[in-house]
Amino acid sequence: MKQAKGFPFLPMNREEMNAKGWDQCDFILVTGDAYVDHPSFGTALIGRLLESRGYKVGIIAQPDWKTNDDFTVLGKPRLAFLVSGGAMDSMVNNYTVRRRPRREDVFSPGGKGGMRPDRATLVYSTKVRESYKDVPIILGGLEASLRRLAHYDYWSNKLRGSMLLDAKADLLVYGMGENQTLEIAKRLDAGEPISSLTDIRGTVFVAKQLPDGEPNRDYIVLPDPEEIRKDHRLFAKSFMVQQSNTDPIVGKVLCEPYGNRWVIQNSPSHALTENLIDEVPLLPYMRTWHPRYDKEGGVPSIQEVKFSITQSRGCFGGCSFCAITFHQGRRIQGRSQESIIEEAKILTKLPDFKGYIHDVGGPTANFRIPSCEKQITKGICPQKQCLFPKPCPNLNVDHSDYLSLLVKLRNLPGVKKVFIRSGIRFDYLLQDKNEKFFKELCEHHISGRLKIAPEHIDDAVLAAMGKPGSSVYESFIRKYAQINKQLGKPQQVVPYFISSHPGSTLSSAIALAEYMRDHNIDAEQVQDYYPTPGTLSTAMYFSGLDPRTMTPIFVCRDEREKNMQRALLQYRNPENARLVHEALTKAGRTDLIGFSPKCLVKPVRGGPKTAKSEQPNDPNRGTKLTHKAAKSDWRDKPKTDGGPKKRRR
């Protein structure tokens, strides 16, 4: 497809519009991120898709929300404003799990923090409405998608209603938005009022009455948010209904009451056609940041994705703490090999390409095909998971197409190496009776260290997380070691762990610390559990129940205990000694305080006496780590000092 004439990026000011010969935009996208013209960024993707259909699209990126000036820089759009908080939820982007403001933001010029407001989608929508009273406002992106219905807001520690109502917008697009956006554009362009667009799949709207049809057969009425505030059990029940209706084939219309109004969530959008999912990544992106950011050194987020390829979307992994299921759905939709190879050829022609494709993956790299054939015609099982608690007998385990793709990519002219850096689901990999992919993965597609996510080692915590038992991880480690020994490669595994997840007690954290001690694991990858909208784990955190069984589950809400759990996973760090000592004492595990090889920490002044058998000069005591444990107190408002950068999700 040929690049549009004039300025090659989507315009961000009047001068760039003039260069294209435009007097007015059809759509204006407002985003909390800097404008990076790459298919990994939703604003660029939707903008280029609309452009490919003949619409004139402008972008207002990271506007100053303290005035209305930036919201009028492109004038009034002919059809609508499309508003997004950016690639991440703005609250996750702005604050650490300790509710402290982040100093850095990889989605901003020069990595500078503070460039977007809290609840950016809501703020931007309000400013657009102040500037243009009569222009349709359509919300989209991850922040709006995960906050489309009543949700627990960790930062204010309360239940909030649908963002659509708070933002006073006309329509909300949830999930991956290509189908919805094209349908909305076509109908607005044909002269339909925004108020009539109430039947588009993958959208949410406000109505004065329930839809026609029979309750529970044609639609489901969710609990009233006011009742949820009085009884948190209703939130757990409501979330399970929502999670069970994320598939376009079996998903029903959901209706949430708000006084004399209803927030109506239409059934999920159908999967993209094969032609469209192949087309979208090959639109004429510049694959770099807008030149206005050159003086700040660009936008750091491009570095992770510039030479990476997304080969699929959706995830049937079912991790409780991950919002991908709620946003993208559980059905895997993969691009054709031809489309992926064409994108790889584009990468090889970029001036700074060094021969390395950094990733060929997706939400889970080795999920490339639907988990079973039934899903294609009958949809996802609403009440069952594909891999948890054990792999489904109908699970389709086949890495052959993915491996074939990788071989073709690494044989392209100019390509030296093809890496896989997005997550590998190791329990799915172990189900493959053909070990060829596992061997090729170790031989060709990792660079000495494979990052995987067992998340924990305590089986009760893993069950809460929707992850396989620890024995499965142990089997994977043995197989990984065996294959690397055969290859003569001294490659390591870098495991990723989460502390303080619902279900995790001090005893659970101590068990994980002992496992790390026994296996000589340095905790490079530890993340405090972060309750974000749209996850099963957040429903557990808010309700104190496991929504799958409606049974009570332990939730660590005490900040001191959270710090202790985190410190236990990095017990070798001398700065954590007092917290580790306190945790072991509180849990009645003073046998782990001392100088023997089995101890996690030396005695500290004022602590309990060590056992007589312990030796003070044991050579096996822990060494210093580079990561520091975060200190925090419970605050209704975030502190003003910064915190460590988040890792993911």
Does residue 631 have a pLDDT over 50? no
| pLDDT for position 7 | 87
pLDDT number for residue 617: 35
* pLDDT beyond 60 at 4: no
* pLDDT at res. 608: 52
On the question of pLDDT at 374 being above 70, the answer is: yes
| pLDDT tens per residue across span 261-297 | 999 999 999 999 999 999 999 999 999 999 999 999 9
Write down the pLDDT at residue 638.
33
Going by C-beta distance under 8 Å and a sequence separation of 6 or more, which residues neighbour residue 367?
312, 314, 315, 316, 317, 332, 425, 428
E-assigned strands of 211-341? 219-221, 253-258, 261-265, 288-289, 308-310, 312-313, 333-334
The number of distinct structural domains making up the chain is: 2
Q: For position 606, what pLDDT does the model report?
A: 64
Exposure of 193 in the CB half-sphere (CA atoms within 13 A): 3
CA 17 and chain centroid, separation: 34
Residue 135 lies in a domain: yes
In this structure, are residues 171 and 136 in contact, taking their beta carbons and an 8 Å threshold? yes
* Overall size of the chain counted in residues: 649
Residue 409 lies in a domain: no
Burial class (CB within 10 angstroms; exposed 0-12, middle 13-18, buried 19+) of 84: buried
> What are the pLDDT digits (tens) for 416-457?
999 999 889 999 999 999 999 999 999 999 988 999 999 999
Which of 230-244, 398-412, 612-626 is least confident?
612-626
In a domain, 417, yes or no: no
**pLDDT value at residue 622:** 32
Q: For residue 614, give its domain range.
A: 450-455+484-636
Which phi and psi angles does 553 have, rounded to 5°? -135, 140
> Which carries the bigger pLDDT value, residue 256 or residue 621?
256
Look at residues 146, 181, 205 and tell me which one is the last residue of a structural domain: 205
In a domain, 306, yes or no: no
Residue 342 maps to a domain: no
Q: Could you report the per-residue pLDDT of 32-87, keeping only the tens digit for each? A: 999 999 999 999 999 999 999 999 999 999 999 999 999 999 999 999 999 999 99
Query: Cα(304)–Cα(288) distance, rounded to whole angstroms?
Result: 12
pLDDT for the residue 522: 86
Which of 186, 205, 224 represents a domain boundary (last residue)? 205
In a domain, 345, yes or no: no
Q: Is pLDDT of 595 > 50? A: yes
List of residues 6+ apart from 639 with CB closer than 8 A? 98, 99, 100, 101, 632
Asked if residue 548 belongs to a domain, the reply is yes
**CATH number of domain containing 149:** 3.40.50.2300
- Distance from C-alpha of 613 to C-alpha of 275, rounded to nearest angstrom: 70
Q: What does the pLDDT average to over 109-138?
A: 97
What is the Cα–Cα distance from 246 to 269, expressed in whole angstroms? 9
Lowest mean pLDDT among 4-13, 241-250, 389-398, 580-589: 4-13
Question: Across the chain, what does the average pLDDT equal?
Answer: 92
pLDDT for the residue 621: 32
Residue 627 has pLDDT above 60, yes or no: no
Domain boundary among 160, 189, 205: 205
Q: How many CA atoms lie within 13 A of 35 on its CB side?
A: 24
From CA 549, how far away is CA 547, in angstroms rounded?
Answer: 5
**pLDDT tens readout for residues 596-605:** 999 999 998 7
| Secondary structure (3-state) at 338 | helix
pLDDT tens for 456-505 read: 999 999 999 999 999 999 999 999 999 999 999 999 999 999 999 999 99
Res 646: pLDDT: 38
pTM of the complete model:
0.90
579-583, Cβ contacts within 8 angstroms, sequence gap of 24 or more: 579/629, 581/607, 583/506, 583/509, 583/510
Q: Determine what percent of the chain is predicted with pLDDT higher than 90.
A: 89
Q: Which of 84, 91, 93 is nearest to 44 (CA)?
A: 84
Residue in 495, 538, 536, 510 with CA at minimum distance from that of residue 598: 510
| pLDDT at site 523 | 77
Q: What is the pLDDT of residues 7-28, one digit of tens each?
A: 899 999 999 999 999 999 999 9
Domain-located, residue 282: no
Alpha-carbon gap, residue 455 to 465, rounded angstroms: 8
